[in-house]
Structure 1
Amino acid sequence: MPRPLCSSTALTALLLTAAPALAQSTSAESVLRIGMTAADVPTTTGMPNNGFEGMRFLGYPVFEGLVLWDLSRTDRLATLRPGLAEKWEQAPDDKKTWIFHLRQGVRFHDGTAFDADAVIWNLDRYFKQDSPQYEPPAAGITRARAPLLAGYRKIDDRTVAITSSGPASYFPYMVVYLLFTSPASFEAAGRDWAKVGMLPAAGTGPFRITGVRPREAVELARNPGYWDRNNLAKVDKVRLMPIPEANARIAALRAGQVDWIEAPAPDGLASLRQAGFTITTGSYPHVWPWFYNIGAANSPLKDVRVRQALNYCIDRDGLVTFLNGTAEPAVGWLKASDPDFGAPQNRYRLDPERGRALLAEAGFTDKRPLSLKVMISTSGSGQMQPLPMNEFLQENLKQTCNVDVSFNVVEWQVLLNAGRAAPDSPSLQGANALNVSSPSSDVAVMARYFASANVSPKGFNFPQWTDARFDAALKELAEATDPEAIARATRAAHERLVDDPPWLYIVHDLNPRAMSPRVKNFVSPQSWFVDLNRVSVQ
């Protein structure tokens, strides 16, 4: 049975009680207050936990990478742009090595210089277990996001080389997740990462951390010395507040305690609009699935017919209606309209007859129904509305294909940790599937979620899924340089993700947010991330 959850009434009362501490500054400073979906503030050492919500608010705004996302447009998927590296290229004599030319004149928030030594120090922090600065939680996150990184070296003060385990045309899309913290922060905290997070730590970004209150808030302030003088932040301060319950976030917005909330409850959108609040939505590379646990001993999901059957048993259109149109049906890792979707043999839709037939072929009938235990979260980055959505699916699967589903409800970070566990790990508590939302932004993400070389705990291939044709297509596109060859191989790879599904594909989120009319100039890019620099508060 799901564990008891704090009610929205109780959470709202807590917020109201805390109102004096969270009230808008009485000075002339502009303060943007954001209600996150996380149950706690993300970690603040420079590689935040809590998934991509942590990266969204306590990653890129504070701690940057050699490569950054271009979040300036809404009419296309976010692409890469130069960050702490002005440019990069593959080494002319080695396709596995990339050369990064560092930007000059960049300083951390503490005034120390960003240079090649700082890059190597941070990479040792993630990838060298015997280094004094090795940080196991941050290393686990980083290694899973950049599983191909095999080595690195300093060429000179302004140049570093990073080597992948094999040729990978998409390797810069992994480098984008390597963030950099000032080595001086580690020394100032007595070489204790737990203390670094409360210093606070220094990055190079447009905002700096000024205060950390676990379970309550993180305070950011504009960095007036930011290296990109054309992209200085418009607000003076940002306050990030964890409010995991959707209706409590709405109550906080209505009460004027926050200016911006992530993932408002869909049934509250109409009334928020009527009250003058701004609702933003937009397509972005996101899929809300169940990860099948194929690798566990005696898993019924080892049989591809079961995995396909479930994809024919769910009512995606009904769930979209239930979500008040804030999502669209998912019939693959990519959207069906994506040019790289390909032409798979299976085009999933609600087809209980076909689903039941496939289950029967696999030995599951009304007399011996399929039973699944799914680990889900109470909230979290990209998790949309996990409790009501999963309850919808539970009833849906029982009615259409007589599948019995039970849930183990945990906090978001616990679920993320489970996604990097071995298939029979005690931490999974016997789960046959995990409900973890996923980016679908680029081939690098595809590789780390589905390549056989990246099975958990090394990478994000939690299902322990292997498909020779997928791996062959991935190898082809990794070694290719011609865009048409890369596109052709990407389509072939995605076709295998549909026909031999490692996941139950459910919906693509439309990324709803609700904001006070005081919030201006927000751009909703086709990305998990946002550019807080552009936003102003009037």
Structure 2
Amino acid sequence: MTFPRRTAFALTASLALVAQAQADSVLRIAMTATDVPTATGLPNNGFEGMRFMGYPIFEALTQWDLTQTDRPSGIKPALAQSYEQDPADGHIWTFHLRQGVKFHDGTPFDANAVVWNLDRFFKNDSPQFEPQAAGISRARAPIVASYRKIDDATVQITTTQVASYFPYMVVYLLFTSPQSFEKAGRDWTKVPALPAAGTGPFKIVKVSPRESVDLARNPDYWDAGRMAKVDRIRLMPIPEANARVAALRSGQVDWIEVPAPDAIPSLKQAGFTITTGSYPHVWPWIYNIAGTNSPLKDVRVRQALNYCVDREGIVALLNGTAEPASGWLNDKDPNFGKPQNHYVSDPEKGKKLLAEAGYGPSKPLSLKVMVSSSGSGQMLPMPMNEYLQENLKQSCNVDVSFNVVEWQVLLNASRLLPDSGNLQGSNVLNVSSPSSDAAVMERYFSSSRFPPGGFNFPNWKDDQFDAALKALAETKDQKVIDSQTQIAHERLVDNPPWLYVVHDLNPRAMSKSVKGFVSPQSWFVDLTRVSVQ
């Protein structure tokens, strides 16, 4: 059969495209999120959003060093090739921008783009102001006071207070091409369909809400040492743990976050790779201390609950993929300190403290906990919370009820005022937390970070903690930083704003075809190192 020349050409081109598609390496990942994280350049869905829809595509002036596995990840330069704190005025930070970097749409990354994005987050009357991204940014970098362009390659940011840990806040301020906003008719709701352009090693190809996001390797990435090894990535939200396991077994995906613990032995037996590793994570109940008539105003109640919990039982429930938590930091952390309280399962001590606070058989303590069905770092929230519900009833006669919401709703609740109607009477929020650095400690526990200006949902105030935090913020001496961190953490244990339950061991399951994955001591991963063979 003879084809017309045009048809033959089209057929040849089509076959070439098919061959190319077959040659492409594709990594398919099942997330715990219930929906695709927002795709305008600063994703929602917590740190899982940042892990998959943040750093691979959109970058910050600083970045996490994810090359080490033997220590918690630190910070290194990224879109800023260097930065320094003004020796004469510690409020001022100067960032020297990396030259030659371009957004995925070909436009230059420069000081104008930096200021444009900072206006997007911090200037309410700017044309590009994005309320959702602004809320996330202001909560993660709450001490930004002002900023200005020095020249095309230099930007200066001034903070509201002296903070040696400010680069650990800058890492969460991601940059989108201003041209993305312009092409979308200055409408953020239309930007994902373009799609939005960042500077990262991957670029967005297609966003299908509730279904998937397709990413492609960026062949023009500025860092030649971090060129992606896979051609494409497909991200899929699969919030239910057993559904994720089924997707992995059937070959629908190559990688799943948080496999169901009871499936881990059979997955190993079937030849799948299970990765775990300690990282700065704590799974707590966050107390609503400041709510009207809250029983959690009494420190004895907050301590009692920490003694009533059977953490080893939770670890067993999770098939060993977690460690007991007796504080915000891991017990093995050198900055854990020497608090007076050591929280292990001690129901008698818990009941004694509750009795001193006025609770007992004739007046049991009752708590309503807002929980999510899934989400970033939430591990297996429903089975874990149901275990705690039964555990607290049996150990200390505490009555627990639940208000189950979606993950993003729960995240939003952590920035509400203590008597907000949107809390629906909740005394406690179950929101997992990073514990990676002093900047995180500041925004969760400083008395200057009550919502909506920070994550101190309990409205917890401890003068000794604040003094230690101020001391470590105003020095560059690592020994002073460490000693003051220990003092601060001792107060988090002895005057607990949270019920500390477990530290996650970050389990993932992968097919044998996934190679090169490194599990850093971080919430984040470097997808450029991964290949599919």
Instruction: Extract structure 1 runs of 4+ deviating beyond 6 A.
Output: none
How far apart, CA to CA, are the structure 2 residues paired with 1:73 and 1:486? 22
1:212-242 deviation digits (Å, cap 9, x = unpaired): 0000000000000000012100000000000
1:242 maps to amino acid:
P
Q: Which residue in the other structure is 1:156 paired with?
A: 151
How far apart, CA to CA, are the structure 2 residues paired with 1:436 and 1:167? 29
Q: Which residue in the other structure is 1:17 paired with?
A: none
Q: Which residue in the other structure is 2:89 paired with?
A: 94
Say if 2:426 is the partner of 1:431: yes
Say if 2:105 is the partner of 1:110: yes
Q: Which residue in the other structure is 2:231 paired with?
A: 236
How far 1:318 moved relative to its partner? 1.2
Say if 2:365 is the partner of 1:388: no
| Structure of larger gyration radius | 2
Q: Which residue in the other structure is 2:186 paired with?
A: 191
TM-score, normalising length: structure 1 = 0.95
Say if 2:268 is the partner of 1:273: yes
Q: Which residue in the other structure is 2:398 paired with?
A: 403
Does the 8 Å contact 1:102/1:158 carry over to 2? Answer: yes
Deviates more, 1:506-515 or 1:476-485: 476-485
1:251-296 deviation digits (Å, cap 9, x = unpaired): 0000000000000000000000011100000000000000000111
Q: How large is the RMSD of aligned CA atoms in angstroms? A: 0.9
How far apart, CA to CA, are the structure 1 residues paired with 2:143 and 2:390? 41
**Structure 2 residue matching 1:244: 3-state secondary structure:** coil
Say if 2:365 is the partner of 1:370: yes
Q: Which residue in the other structure is 1:515 paired with?
A: 510
1:329-367 deviation digits (Å, cap 9, x = unpaired): 000000111110001110111011110010011111110
Say if 2:353 is the partner of 1:353: no
Unpaired segments ≥5 residues, structure 1: 1-23
TM-score, normalising length: structure 2 = 0.96
How far 1:92 moved relative to its partner? 2.6
How far apart, CA to CA, are the structure 1 residues paired with 2:408 and 2:133? 13
How far apart, CA to CA, are the structure 2 residues paired with 1:198 and 1:466? 44
How far apart, CA to CA, are the structure 2 residues paired with 1:87 and 1:496? 35
Say if 2:463 is the partner of 1:443: no
How far apart, CA to CA, are the structure 1 residues paired with 2:21 and 2:269? 28
Q: Which residue in the other structure is 2:314 paired with?
A: 319
Say if 2:484 is the partner of 1:489: yes
Q: Which residue in the other structure is 2:5 paired with?
A: none
Aligned sequence identity (%): 72
Evaluate the alpha carbon distance shift between residue 109 and residue 242 of structure 1 in structure 2; reply closer, same or farther with a 3 A threshold: same
How far apart, CA to CA, are the structure 2 residues paired with 1:36 and 1:484? 39
**Structure 2 residue matching 1:454: 3-state secondary structure:** coil
Choose which of 484, 500, 505 in structure 1 pairs with 2:495. Answer: 500
**Structure 1 residue matching 2:76: 3-state secondary structure:** strand
1:452-501 deviation digits (Å, cap 9, x = unpaired): 00011110101110111100110011111211111111100000000000
Evaluate the alpha carbon distance shift between residue 236 and residue 345 of structure 1 in structure 2; reply closer, same or farther with a 3 A threshold: same
How far apart, CA to CA, are the structure 1 residues paired with 2:511 and 2:498? 37
How far apart, CA to CA, are the structure 1 residues paired with 2:313 and 2:417? 34
Does the 8 Å contact 1:47/1:59 carry over to 2? Answer: yes
Q: Which residue in the other structure is 1:203 paired with?
A: 198
How far apart, CA to CA, are the structure 1 residues paired with 2:310 and 2:346? 9
Q: Which residue in the other structure is 2:217 paired with?
A: 222
1:177-197 deviation digits (Å, cap 9, x = unpaired): 000000000000000000012
- The total of aligned residue pairs comes to 515
How far 1:25 moved relative to its partner? 9.4
**Structure 2 residue matching 1:279: 3-state secondary structure:** strand
1:31-81 deviation digits (Å, cap 9, x = unpaired): 000000000000000000000000000000000000000001111100111
How far apart, CA to CA, are the structure 2 residues paired with 1:229 and 1:325? 39
How far 1:198 moved relative to its partner? 1.8
Unpaired segments ≥5 residues, structure 2: 1-18
Say if 2:67 is the partner of 1:72: yes
Q: Which residue in the other structure is 1:168 paired with?
A: 163
Q: Which residue in the other structure is 2:79 paired with?
A: 84
Does the 8 Å contact 1:217/1:240 carry over to 2? Answer: yes
Q: Which residue in the other structure is 1:418 paired with?
A: 413
2:22 maps to amino acid:
S
Choose which of 19, 33, 49 in structure 1 pairs with 2:28. Answer: 33
Does the 8 Å contact 1:25/1:31 carry over to 2? Answer: no
How far 1:26 moved relative to its partner? 5.5
Does the 8 Å contact 1:32/1:239 carry over to 2? Answer: yes
Q: Which residue in the other structure is 2:448 paired with?
A: 453
